Structure 1
Amino acid sequence: MWTKIVPVTALIASVSLTGGTAYAAPTTPVGGEALGSRGLVAPAGVKKPPKTKATSYVVADADTGQVLAAKDAHGRYLPASTLKTLTALTLIPKLDKNRKIRPSRNACNQEGTAVGLSVKATYKIDDLFKALMMSSGNDAAMALAETNGGLAQTMSDMNAEAKRLQANDTVAKTPSGLDKPGQSSSAYDLALIARAGLANPEFKRYISTKTSTFPAPKGHYEISNHNKLLWRYKGMVGVKNGWTSKALGSFVGAATRGGHTIVVSVMRHEGYFWEEVADLLDWGFSVRGNATPVGQLVDPLPDAQAAPQPGASAPATQVTPAAQPPLLDTAAKKQTDSSKTVGMVVIGGGLLFGLIWLGYGIRRRRGRSRL
């Protein structure tokens, strides 16, 4: 019988840094105490979740919000293009999908994956959202951000939306997910964002579209969805995959069978994750309704509570909740399903030295997005 891991919490109540600044460790992680574990947490009395090479993952019942299993659910990692889920969720309600725009040269010249925007063509906002969520276009992400009032405004809006969703591990620095110092998300947050997106009919339409025509300066061409499971997995609804050389592979997806929807998110996967995600989805469907949840995907905050207070808003570049210390990343990467105790021991010392490291302002170099 598989036994649920009991997490270690509050290993360090606070750490004093040079200058007297103190960091207070949260007493209860969002979604429940068990989700604070760096190791695998799973329900007793049902079969063990299938193995995955992902450093962090969450399997949840999208209907009830119950987290069925997780590993390092709140570990903060570079999200790569899975961050585009937050971009879409934030901007879909703000932009008229029938509006036409001509993208700037800056948008058209974004590095990494692009749908091929041209300054000589005009595009409907609807087309740009398809390019964002189907083809993972970094050029489309920037065009949408500029249409929303500019990059700074969009970053502020995205971080406000993350706060509303209680996705507190998420810090958006780019609309595309291109690596940038201070940017982060977690498997828990990606599942939260995806669940909220599934409730939006337009978001759901974009992520579930397999192929579509896309305008060009002369005529049209066809684009296809990068989510391979739309073709391979029965009941797959969609959502988003991502990859950069620094973030490695990331994915958040949802599938519906028998009227029930399961969400799976994985982060920092070193290889080909599609089959492993399919196995996790299968496991979620097999145990839902029969397993004691290990946590909960929380509901969004009430609008009044989530809204910024007058005079309290800050530029987007200043929205920087504490990023996961690099040494915690290292501990998580080395942790396996059979080394949970070691992982939990490392977290205490890792937190101490990681915070001191952050105090000296060491920053990670920028990666390059391909998905």
Structure 2
Amino acid sequence: MRDSGVAARALSSKAMSTRTPRRRPRRLRTLAAATLVAGIFCGTAGTGLDVAVAGAQPAATPPFTTPNTDDCPNKVSPPPPIDTSEVPAPGDPAPTPLPVPSPPIGGPKLGQCGVVLPPGVPPVPAEISATGWVIADLNSGRVLAAKDPHGRYRPASTIKTLLAIVALRSLDLTKVVTGTQEDANAEGTRVGIGPGGRYTNKQLMQALIMCSGNDAAHAIAMQLGGVDATVAKMRAEAERLHAMDTRPATPAGLDGPGMSTSPYDLATIFREAMTIPTFAELIHTEQADFPGFPADPKIPGDKDHPGFVIANDNRLLYDFDGDLGGKTGFTDDARQTFVNAAERGGRRLVITLLKADVLPIRPPEQAARLLEWAFAFPPDAYVGSLPDSSRSGSANPSVTLASPPPHDSDQPGDEDTPTHDDLPTYILAGGILVALGLVIAAWWVSGRGRRRR
């Protein structure tokens, strides 16, 4: 099954910066069992959610080896697909590969396909499975280090950052739109939009950015002229940003004919998105209320569907000191993809990972290791530059970044929220409570629990 934005959520606490854990909000602690059953957290609608089973034996895994890209296997096109998602529709020609710019955008060193490091920095951290990655300074645009920076890969849901740029600069966020059955039927991850539900465009953007909702992507695309028109606008924006390895095929990031991006381009796109205050706010938001939708009169016995809480699916937002926010992605062909930014001492870095896997550690932890490593670089250590938003490709040291609202861990409600990592714990606790309730009920019915008169 193809999916988008579901994976790369679980994260070990190893290699994370020390951060005082924040207690879970009282509302979420109280409603944990009910919300898990209802599936209100990001990615539980329309997806296959893997839950650990007590006593299950882990499957044998092959030995891990870091992918080698020294011979530039992805210079022209992404790796061959493993399914039929990129087969053109009948009558449509297969897209030709995008031209490879020469000289390479960002500087000559970024034309290399292996690991690209400035002199004198420590070796790359171990256990990085991402086939291509880039670390760049959001403020200056300098690329600190990279692996196959212009290699072409599939972006999965990380391309929603490009959709967000187009939408946030085009749509009235206060406008209320009505959900459709076509929105609800979107393939892959769905936040839970229902026919007849009423949503502001800001709520749709929350669902898109925080929860990777493909139903939200569809609802947004319909306001931008439809799927084809939206893809055309995303391609035009990529060209404006000089992201010449990038060609969206779908608004949500599901694989399609000709789809590609690169670690370099994804950093460029995310940097541009972070200049939009609403994007910087939403990518940093941990939880939000989301509307429900009315009963379907065509379904016998259907009832109104109440609103629910959505939680950001980027685990680094909760676990990594100074995290500014990021976007996960996954499809069968793209594998794990991830883009994330963090700030330390006034320095803001962005990390992009493409064609990663959960072996030997999950992609967010890989990103955390690479960020910790790069934050220790001296200021003059870099290998190239991101382009500006013109078509010149020159570095832009004066880009103005929006700042997300600060976290205040002492305020009620601004606390760690349950994610998919918490599911086994909550399911076990819920099962114990249900079993205890059944025992008490049986005891009461038998008469032993009633007071004798």
TM-score, normalised with respect to structure 1: 0.74
The one-letter amino acid of 2:384's match is: G
Match of 2:173 among 74, 77, 97: 97
Match of 1:249 among 336, 340, 350: 336
2:44 paired residue number: none
Matches within 5 A, 1:91-130: 91-130=167-206
Distance in 2 between residues matched to 1:80 and 1:288, nearest whole Å: 33
Identity among equivalent positions (%) equals: 42
1:361 paired residue number: none
Moved more, 45-54 or 181-190: 45-54
Check 1:204–1:288 CA distance in 2 against 1; reply closer, same or farther (3 A cut). farther
The one-letter amino acid of 1:280's match is: L
1:240 paired residue number: 327
Asked whether 1:38 is paired with 2:113, we answer: yes
Q: 1:138 Cα shift?
A: 0.4
Q: 1:25 Cα shift?
A: 5.4
The one-letter amino acid of 1:87's match is: L
User: Does the CA contact (< 8 Å) of 1:80 and 1:179 recur in 2?
Assistant: yes
Asked whether 1:280 is paired with 2:370, we answer: yes
Check 1:25–1:257 CA distance in 2 against 1; reply closer, same or farther (3 A cut). closer
When the two structures are aligned, how many residues end up with a matched partner?
286
User: Does the CA contact (< 8 Å) of 1:8 and 1:37 recur in 2?
Assistant: no
Distance in 1 between residues matched to 2:164 and 2:213, nearest whole Å: 12
Matches within 5 A, 1:216-365: 216-217=292-293, 218-271=305-358, 272-291=362-381, 293-301=382-390
Match of 1:61 among 117, 131, 137: 137
1:84 paired residue number: 160
CA RMSD, 1 decimal: 2.1
Distance in 1 between residues matched to 2:353 and 2:209, nearest whole Å: 18
Asked whether 1:138 is paired with 2:228, we answer: no
Q: 1:276 Cα shift?
A: 1.2
Asked whether 1:48 is paired with 2:123, we answer: yes
Check 1:299–1:177 CA distance in 2 against 1; reply closer, same or farther (3 A cut). same
User: Does the CA contact (< 8 Å) of 1:171 and 1:182 recur in 2?
Assistant: yes
Check 1:289–1:183 CA distance in 2 against 1; reply closer, same or farther (3 A cut). same
User: Does the CA contact (< 8 Å) of 1:31 and 1:298 recur in 2?
Assistant: yes
Distance in 2 between residues matched to 1:197 and 1:89, nearest whole Å: 6
Cα deviation per residue 1:116-153 (whole Å; 9 max; x = unaligned)?
11112111000000000111000000100001121122
1:150 paired residue number: 226
Distance in 2 between residues matched to 1:192 and 1:45, nearest whole Å: 26
Cα deviation per residue 1:183-220 (whole Å; 9 max; x = unaligned)?
11111011001111111101111111011110002442
User: Does the CA contact (< 8 Å) of 2:337 and 2:354 recur in 1?
Assistant: yes
SS at match of 2:207: helix
Distance in 1 between residues matched to 2:261 and 2:233, nearest whole Å: 16
The one-letter amino acid of 1:32's match is: G
User: Does the CA contact (< 8 Å) of 2:242 and 2:391 recur in 1?
Assistant: no
More strand by share: 1
Q: 1:23 Cα shift?
A: 9.8
Check 1:130–1:288 CA distance in 2 against 1; reply closer, same or farther (3 A cut). farther
Q: 1:270 Cα shift?
A: 1.6
Unpaired segments ≥5 residues, structure 1: 1-6, 13-20, 304-371
Unpaired segments ≥5 residues, structure 2: 1-69, 76-95, 294-304, 393-453
Distance in 2 between residues matched to 1:31 and 1:43, nearest whole Å: 15
Check 1:258–1:162 CA distance in 2 against 1; reply closer, same or farther (3 A cut). same
User: Does the CA contact (< 8 Å) of 1:8 and 1:36 recur in 2?
Assistant: no
SS at match of 2:211: coil
Q: 1:104 Cα shift?
A: 2.6
Q: 1:239 Cα shift?
A: 2.0
Asked whether 1:172 is paired with 2:261, we answer: no
1:29 paired residue number: 104
